[in-house]
Amino acid sequence: MGGQRRLPVGAEARNGCAHFRVWAPDHGRVVVILESGRAAGDHLLEREPDGHFSGAITGAAAGDLYRYRLDGGPPLPDPASRFQPNGPRGPSRVVDPADFGWTDAGWKGVGLRGQVIYELHVGTFTREGTWAAATRELPYLAELGVTVIELIPVADFPGRFGWGYDGVCLFAPYHGYGEPDDMRRFVDAAHALGLGVIHDVVYNHLGPRGNVLAQYTPSYFSERYHTEWGSAMNFDGPNSGPVRQFYLANAGYWIDEFHLDGLRLDATQSIFDSSDDHILRQIGERVRAAARGRATFVINENEPQLAKIVRPVDRGGYGLDGLWNDDFHHSAMVALTGRSEAYYSDHRGGPQEFISAAKYGYLFQGQRYSWQEQRRGTPALDLDPWQFVNFVQNHDQVANSGSGLRCHALSSPGRFRAMTALLLLAPGTPMLFQGQEFASSSPFFYFADHERDIAAEVKTGRAEFLSQFRRLDRPGVADEVPDPADPETFERSKLDHRERARGYHAAVFRLHQDLLKLRRSDPAFANQERRSVDGAVLGPSAFLLRFFAGTDARNDRLLLVNFGPDLHLDAAPEPLLAPPDGCGWKTVWSSEDRRYGGEGAPPAETLDGWRVMGEAAAVLAPELLPQREESDHTRASARVKERRRNERTRLTE
């Protein structure tokens, strides 16, 4: 049967019937209960030697509702259900993916290099919180200049709202966002606009409510490992083969049946596998196979910063593509806010950190990390810049501010604009969090519609987590932080897209749009090769990055960034500031442009040295100096020599 099915488990419609297959090795009798359709009733499935049960039911078809009964127990949803119209506790629905009419036959997919990622939570991206509403906003994202949408998890979870990291039906798109075909329309429309779509999947644990896998068999879970969110999955213990097959099928399913362009893997440090062939490597292989020639990529959240995840398999790695770079975020937030506490305490937000991040990605590659009282990271100097996904906001970090405030509200406008320039022009892969591009006034909180007993635990646990920040470590903070289970907490987190056309918000949108255009159009910024950028510290809060674009130095670009006060360099003994032969430097872009809400920017290179504007960033390009200008420099030099002779004369009189 395996060769005739799209997936090893689940319900699949065929001509005149539907085929059902489920793994329940601890049970002797499995019945599929069809609750609607021509074949409604109970149908006994045949047991296979490995503990799977299967059977073809004549008359069953797409749209029929069904559940399984194990050894006469209560009806249960299908662990591999493609849709749960009434949520995880209700019946599953037979879905035929072939019923959808795709229009993206010419879509070639996307690799990670060259992309700009946009993290999007369907439930809060629009007021309606649906696939249909999100689809209407896609032209706006294309206009902005992002190239890939990263969907915060959409696997079905209980309740009316949630982040999605407590998913329990891993093959079923969340019922509150719309039908599975609505998700397909979203992806199809995105591809038509040149936008890729990837999905954040959670393979390290399942949510605390609505999870029925253990009722089919406890073998889905490991007794050897534990995660901070619940039981770990069994990828290397007894009976782990079907578990691995289940998760590998899921990875390929999103690529095959929804035409997604890749995955983001949540907290891979909690995906435990001591086998000879790590499940992460197999996930990458399955994603590429399911794409059938389309380009794809897989990025990872990995707190210990293990570089081997993205190294090629022939060099001992797992062959995946990218890594979230928390180091960049932590340094950025310290520079923006001046606060260095909790997990920010090992970062100073200084110029050298940003230079090193631009050149080498991770800042911690095996050094001691005092916050954890141990070494953190592994050597990653051989990785390419595009393999590091940089961000100054994401779902976790905005919510972790306690107030849910975004970084523009925690910093000055000038520093926020300068940091935006650094993020969007640095050689890593930049990621924006929804609403960041127009400085949304909507906060983003942690929200989860759990039942009362779990909701109370979550609220207490949230306050305990935030207590690592000194400013939030006080009695009563649990009552100050918005209640995750309160529908108002969810509603307040929704974007108001009308803002992006107004005043300050419109100026911030123009800032992002212009920077992304510059990143695309200028070869120096589009170049993401190793050693394509170097940098130098200019002052306590100021630095430069020099971008190289080939052998002709006239194609080089300078990015000057200053998070502190104005800086005047009368002498500049730094070779990266030296222009190409016969050239000077001309400012071609400034974060202080009035279009962005700034106050205007004077030239950075002047006859009396360099003047680096405070709380600002500027892009400089070489400009040929005409002969008369070279004479001006000669005369200026003579004037300086005359002034200094006069000063020496006065001192000796």
What's the CA gap between 315 and 310, in Å, rounded?
A: 10
Plot region of 207 (φ>0 → left; ψ -120 to 50 → alpha; else → beta)? beta
Residue 107 lies in a domain: no
Query: Residue 480's pLDDT is what?
Result: 75
Q: Are residues 304 and 394 in the same domain?
A: yes
Q: Which of 515, 541, 568 is the last residue of a domain?
A: 515
**69, pLDDT greater than 60:** yes
From 301, 384, 449, 483, the catalytic residue? 301
Q: Which amino acid is at 333?
A: M
Q: Are residues 289 and 172 in the same domain?
A: yes
- Burial of residue 14 (CB within 10 Å: 0-12, 13-18, 19+) is middle
Q: Name which of 583, 617, 609, 651 is nearest 511 in CA terms.
A: 617
**329, pLDDT greater than 70:** yes
Q: Name which of 351, 348, 355 is nearest 331 in CA terms.
A: 348
What tokens does 114 get? 């060259």
For 40, the 3-state DSSP assignment is coil
Q: What percent of the chain has pLDDT over 90?
A: 85
Per-residue pLDDT reduced to its tens digit, 490-505 = 999 999 999 999 999 9
Q: Are residues 419 and 305 in the same domain?
A: yes
Q: What is the largest CA-CA distance in the chain?
A: 112
**Is 266 tagged catalytic?**
yes
Q: Are residues 343 and 427 in the same domain?
A: no
Query: Residue 367's pLDDT is what?
Result: 96
Are 406 and 439 in contact by the 8 Å Cβ rule? The answer is yes
**643, pLDDT greater than 50:** yes
What's the CA gap between 252 and 148, in Å, rounded?
A: 19
What's the CA gap between 503 and 159, in Å, rounded?
A: 37
Residue 523 lies in a domain: no
Mean per-residue pLDDT, 82-107: 97
Q: What are phi and psi of 24, to 5 degrees?
A: -145, 65
Q: What are phi and psi of 166, to 5 degrees?
A: -110, 35
Query: Residue 533's pLDDT is what?
Result: 97
Mean per-residue pLDDT, 464-474: 71
- For residues 488, 489, 495 and 498, what is the CA-based torsion angle, rounded to 10 degrees? 40
Range of the domain at 338: 327-373
User: Cβ atoms within 10 A of the Cβ of 413, count?
Assistant: 18
Rg over alpha carbons for the chain, rounded to the nearest Å, is 28
For 45, the 3-state DSSP assignment is coil
Q: Are residues 423 and 493 in the same domain?
A: yes
**589, pLDDT greater than 50:** yes
Domain CATH code at residue 581: 2.60.40.1180
What's the CA gap between 109 and 648, in Å, rounded?
A: 69
Domain CATH code at residue 16: 2.60.40.10
- In this structure, the chain runs to a length of 653
Q: Are residues 482 and 509 in the same domain?
A: yes
Q: Which residues of 501-518 are buried (b: 16+ CB within 10 A; e: fewer)?
A: eeeebbbbbbbbebbbeb
What's the CA gap between 310 and 300, in Å, rounded?
A: 9
What's the CA gap between 35 and 21, in Å, rounded?
A: 17
Higher pLDDT, 33 or 399: 33
Higher pLDDT, 401 or 562: 562
Residue 240 lies in a domain: no
**1, pLDDT greater than 50:** no
Per-residue pLDDT reduced to its tens digit, 395-446 = 999 988 778 899 999 999 999 999 999 999 999 999 999 999 999 999 999 9
Q: Are residues 76 and 157 in the same domain?
A: no
**3, pLDDT greater than 50:** no
Residue 232 lies in a domain: no
Q: Are residues 491 and 478 in the same domain?
A: yes
Query: Residue 588's pLDDT is what?
Result: 97
In this structure, is the dihedral angle defined by the CA atoms of residues 558, 562, 566 and 570, taken in order, positive or negative? negative
Residue 105 lies in a domain: no
Higher pLDDT, 229 or 288: 288
Mean per-residue pLDDT, 166-187: 98
Q: What is the DSSP string of 6-18?
A: SSSSEEEEETTEE
CA 607 to chain centre: 44
Per-residue pLDDT reduced to its tens digit, 190-226 = 999 999 999 999 999 999 888 999 999 999 999 999 9
Q: Which of 515, 539, 558 is the last residue of a domain?
A: 515
Q: Are residues 277 and 334 in the same domain?
A: no
Per-residue pLDDT reduced to its tens digit, 247-290 = 999 999 999 999 999 999 999 999 999 999 999 999 999 999 99
What's the CA gap between 477 and 457, in Å, rounded?
A: 15
Q: Which of 485, 515, 545 is the last residue of a domain?
A: 515
Q: What is the DSSP string of 625-652?
A: PPHHHHHHHHHHHHHHHHHHHHHHHHHH
User: Cβ atoms within 10 A of the Cβ of 636, count?
Assistant: 12
**Is 473 tagged catalytic?**
no
Domain CATH code at residue 279: 3.20.20.80
Q: Are residues 293 and 360 in the same domain?
A: no
What tokens does 222 get? 């490991």
Residue 67 lies in a domain: yes
Whole-Å CA distances, 67 to 17, 74, 77, 94 = 16, 9, 5, 10
**586, pLDDT greater than 70:** yes
Overall domain count for the chain = 4
**479, pLDDT greater than 80:** no
Averaged pLDDT of the chain: 93
From 257, 266, 321, 346, the catalytic residue? 266
Q: Name which of 330, 354, 424, 394 is nearest 564 in CA terms.
A: 354
What's the CA gap between 76 and 139, in Å, rounded?
A: 41
Residue 215 lies in a domain: no
Q: Are residues 398 and 498 in the same domain?
A: yes
Query: Residue 45's pLDDT is what?
Result: 98
Residue 340 lies in a domain: yes
Q: Are residues 419 and 480 in the same domain?
A: yes
